[in-house]
Amino acid sequence: MKKLPHSFYLHDDVVAIARQLLGKVLVTEFDGERTSGRIVETEAYAGISDRASHASKGKTPRTSVLFKAGGTAYIYLCYGIHQMFNIVTGPAETAHAVLIRAAEPVEGSAIMLQRSGKKILDETITRGPGNVGKAFGFHTSQTGQSLTSDTMFLADDGYTLDPARIAVSARIGVAYAGADALRPYRFYNSTSPFVSGKKTVLY
DNA sequence: TCGGCGATTAGCT
DNA sequence: GCTAATCGCCGAG
């Protein structure tokens, strides 16, 4: 299990990073409770020119974290309920980010179940960005934290996802973004039951 | 200070 | 498949 180096996040091609993150392991260890999971679904948000990205609204108190250098966590609340976990990428001020939409539990599934309030452990535990936030214990108060720390980081355990299994589609829930909503920026493992949304392959 | 709205989800029908 | 729940953020006034 190798922690991804800071340099991984500084690459300026956010779409390439979103694809490379499939198969990597997301690890959190809050209050001594370690949970980890293999990433199976991501979405790229390409800076201020991407109308689906919060960065398109400019730098505000909420979005300022997006403008930091890569390797930073951007966590925000959606619909008043869901903690959405994003990874800031690229050099400072580019405002690129990758949203983690789904993962497969590797360690600490009992803790994930407890955090989610669910009764049975099934694939909904980490399916969808809101559920990922819950299962891993993310909270908006952690936005702006480094992803190379010991409490919150990404790792490579040697696993490589067969490229033939990677599917690409438009992003989910961004219809308001006009033409940008059609960009092929969503990547997922087509064989994983943990992937959210429709299973149609567009590309 | 106020009103509209969103990178969603769960629970019914 | 459809819809209510739910609240912080942001821009307008």
Which residues 50-79 on A are within 7 A of strand B at the CB atom?
52-55, 66, 74, 77-79
- A199 pLDDT higher than 90: no
User: Has residue A93 got a pLDDT over 50?
Assistant: yes
> Nearest nt to A64, CA vs C1'?
C9
Q: Which nucleotide is nearest to A78 (CA to C1')?
A: B6
Cβ < 7 Å from strand C, A residues 25-64:
54, 57-58, 60-63
Average of per-residue pLDDT across A170-191 = 92
Kindly report the average pLDDT of chain A as a whole number: 93
Phi, psi of A29, rounded to the nearest 5 degrees: -140, 85
Q: Within 7 A of a protein CB, which nucleotides of strand C? A: 5-11
* A197 pLDDT more than 90: no
pLDDT value, residue A120: 87
Rounded mean pLDDT, A42-71: 94
Checking if the pLDDT of A78 tops 50, the result is yes
pLDDT band (50, 70, 90) for residue A201: very low
Using alpha carbons, list the distances in angstroms from residue A52 to A22, A65, A74, A177.
Answer: 21, 17, 15, 5
pLDDT value for A198: 53
pTM of the model: 0.94
- Nucleotide with smallest C1' distance to residue A173 CA: B7
Residue-level pLDDT at A151: 96
- With a cut of 60, say whether residue A97 has pLDDT above it: yes
